[in-house]
Structure 1
Amino acid sequence: MPRRDKPALRWLMVLWVLVFLASVPFLQANYLFGVNDIDSVLVFFGGNTVGRVQKFGAAVYLPEAFRNFALYLGFLLATLGLYVRVRYFGLVVVGLLAVFAINHPVTLYLKQVYFPKAEQTRISAEVDRYEFHILERPAEQKNLVVFYLEGLEQNFLKVPKVKPYTAGLKTLADSGISFRNVAQVSGTHYSIAGVMATQCGVPLLPSTTFNIKQARARITGGIYTQITCLGDVLARDGYDASFFVGAGLDDFSLGVFWGSHGIQNLFGNGSETDAERAEFGTHGWGITDALVFQKAREELIAASKRDQPFYIVVETMATHGPDGFLDADCLADSGQGNRMYAALECTSNHVQSYVDLVAELGLDDNTVIAVMSDHLSWKTAVTPALDRLAPRRNLFFLLNAGGPTVVDKPGVAFDIYPTILQALGYSLEGDRAYMGVSLLSDRPGMIADYGLEHLNEGLQGNRTLAQWLWRKAP
Structure 2
Amino acid sequence: MSGRIPHVVRRVGVVVGRTWVYVLIWAGLALLIAAAGIRFFWGRISVGQMLLNLVSVEIDGGGGAIVWMGVLGIGVVPLLITVGIALWQSSRRRERRRNGDDTRPRRPQWIMRTVSTALVAAVVVGGTTAFATTVGVGDYLRATNSEYDLGDYYVEPTVTSSERKRNLVLIYLESGEATLADDQLFEKDAFVPLKEVTKASDGWQSVDGLQQYQGGGWTMAGLTSTQCGVPLKGLGSAAGSGASDELSGDVDTYLGGATCLGDVLDEHGYHNVFLGGANASFAAKDDFLGSHGYSEIKDLSDWRAAGEPEKNFRSDWGLSDERLMAHAKDEIDELHAEAERTGRPFNLSVLTLDTHEPVHVYDYCTVDTEDEVTSVFSCSMTQVAGFVEHMEEKGYLDDTAVVIMGDHLKHMSAGDAFHEQLDDHDNRTIFNRIWIPGEDENSTLRPRVDQLNMYPTILEAAGLTLADHAAGLGVSAFASDVPAGSAQAMEPDPYAELLDSHSPQFYAEAWAGEDAAR
Write the distance in 1 (CA, Å) between the matches of 2:65 and 2:133: 24
Contact 2:43 2:134 in 1 (8 A): no
Match for residue 432 of structure 1 among 448, 452, 470: 470
The Cα of 1:312 is off from its aligned counterpart by: 0.5
Partner of 1:130: 154
The Cα of 1:204 is off from its aligned counterpart by: 1.2
Contact 1:112 1:460 in 2 (8 A): no
Write the distance in 2 (CA, Å) between the matches of 1:180 and 1:215: 42
Write the distance in 2 (CA, Å) between the matches of 1:362 and 1:109: 49
Write the distance in 1 (CA, Å) between the matches of 2:121 and 2:506: 37
**Is 1:316 paired with 2:352?**
yes
**Is 1:353 paired with 2:386?**
yes
Match for residue 48 of structure 2 among 3, 27, 39: 39
**Is 1:182 paired with 2:210?**
yes
Instruction: Please give the per-residue CA displacement for 1:390-443, whole angstroms capped at 9, x wherever unaligned.
Output: 221222221235536664633221110001112223222222101111122121
Instruction: Please give the per-residue CA displacement for 1:164-221, whole angstroms capped at 9, x wherever unaligned.
Output: 332122345542221122222345321112111101111111113799xx88622xx1
| Change over 3 Å in CA distance of 1:268–1:12 after alignment to 2 | closer
**Is 1:443 paired with 2:492?**
no
Any idea what SS the aligned residue of 2:213 has?
coil
Write the distance in 2 (CA, Å) between the matches of 1:300 and 1:454: 39
**Is 1:455 paired with 2:496?**
yes
Partner of 2:229: 201
Instruction: Please give the per-residue CA displacement for 1:55-98, whole angstroms capped at 9, x wherever unaligned.
Output: 24168x79x989xx99xx9xxx9xxxxxx89x999999978976
Contact 1:370 1:397 in 2 (8 A): yes
**Residue type at the aligned position of 2:368:** S
Partner of 2:308: 277
Write the distance in 2 (CA, Å) between the matches of 1:461 and 1:255: 25
| Change over 3 Å in CA distance of 1:114–1:65 after alignment to 2 | closer
| Change over 3 Å in CA distance of 1:334–1:228 after alignment to 2 | same
Partner of 1:4: none
Any idea what SS the aligned residue of 2:333 has?
helix
| Change over 3 Å in CA distance of 1:422–1:54 after alignment to 2 | closer
Contact 1:46 1:215 in 2 (8 A): no
Q: Whose radius of gyration is greater, 1 or 2? A: 2
**Is 1:165 paired with 2:165?**
no
**Mean CA deviation greater in 109-118 or 297-306:** 109-118
TM-score, scaled relative to structure 2: 0.73
Any idea what SS the aligned residue of 1:243 has?
strand
Write the distance in 2 (CA, Å) between the matches of 1:107 and 1:152: 24
**Residue type at the aligned position of 1:247:** A
Contact 1:207 1:466 in 2 (8 A): yes
Write the distance in 1 (CA, Å) between the matches of 2:442 and 2:193: 15
The Cα of 1:26 is off from its aligned counterpart by: 2.6
RMSD: 3.9
Match for residue 321 of structure 2 among 273, 289, 292: 289
**Is 1:105 paired with 2:143?**
no
**Is 1:344 paired with 2:367?**
no
Write the distance in 2 (CA, Å) between the matches of 1:239 and 1:280: 35
The Cα of 1:127 is off from its aligned counterpart by: 0.7
Partner of 2:91: none
| Change over 3 Å in CA distance of 1:200–1:239 after alignment to 2 | same
| Change over 3 Å in CA distance of 1:190–1:346 after alignment to 2 | same
Any idea what SS the aligned residue of 1:266 has?
strand
Contact 2:28 2:123 in 1 (8 A): no
Contact 1:373 1:395 in 2 (8 A): yes
Any idea what SS the aligned residue of 2:350 has?
strand
How many residue pairs get aligned? The number is: 442
TM-score, scaled relative to structure 1: 0.80
**Residue type at the aligned position of 2:420:** P
Partner of 1:302: 334
The Cα of 1:447 is off from its aligned counterpart by: 5.7
| Change over 3 Å in CA distance of 1:26–1:446 after alignment to 2 | farther
Write the distance in 2 (CA, Å) between the matches of 1:384 and 1:462: 37
| Change over 3 Å in CA distance of 1:170–1:453 after alignment to 2 | farther
Match for residue 254 of structure 1 among 285, 292, 295: 285
Contact 1:437 1:443 in 2 (8 A): yes
Partner of 2:417: 381
Q: Which runs of 5+ in 2 are unaligned?
A: 1-17, 86-110, 240-246
Write the distance in 2 (CA, Å) between the matches of 1:457 and 1:100: 31
Write the distance in 2 (CA, Å) between the matches of 1:209 and 1:131: 20
The Cα of 1:40 is off from its aligned counterpart by: 0.8
Contact 2:180 2:189 in 1 (8 A): no
Write the distance in 1 (CA, Å) between the matches of 2:152 and 2:123: 44
Write the distance in 1 (CA, Å) between the matches of 2:23 and 2:334: 64
Contact 1:242 1:264 in 2 (8 A): yes
Write the distance in 2 (CA, Å) between the matches of 1:253 and 1:165: 30
| Change over 3 Å in CA distance of 1:291–1:167 after alignment to 2 | same
Partner of 1:233: 264
Write the distance in 2 (CA, Å) between the matches of 1:453 and 1:387: 26
**Mean CA deviation greater in 147-156 or 12-21:** 12-21
Write the distance in 2 (CA, Å) between the matches of 1:429 and 1:38: 35
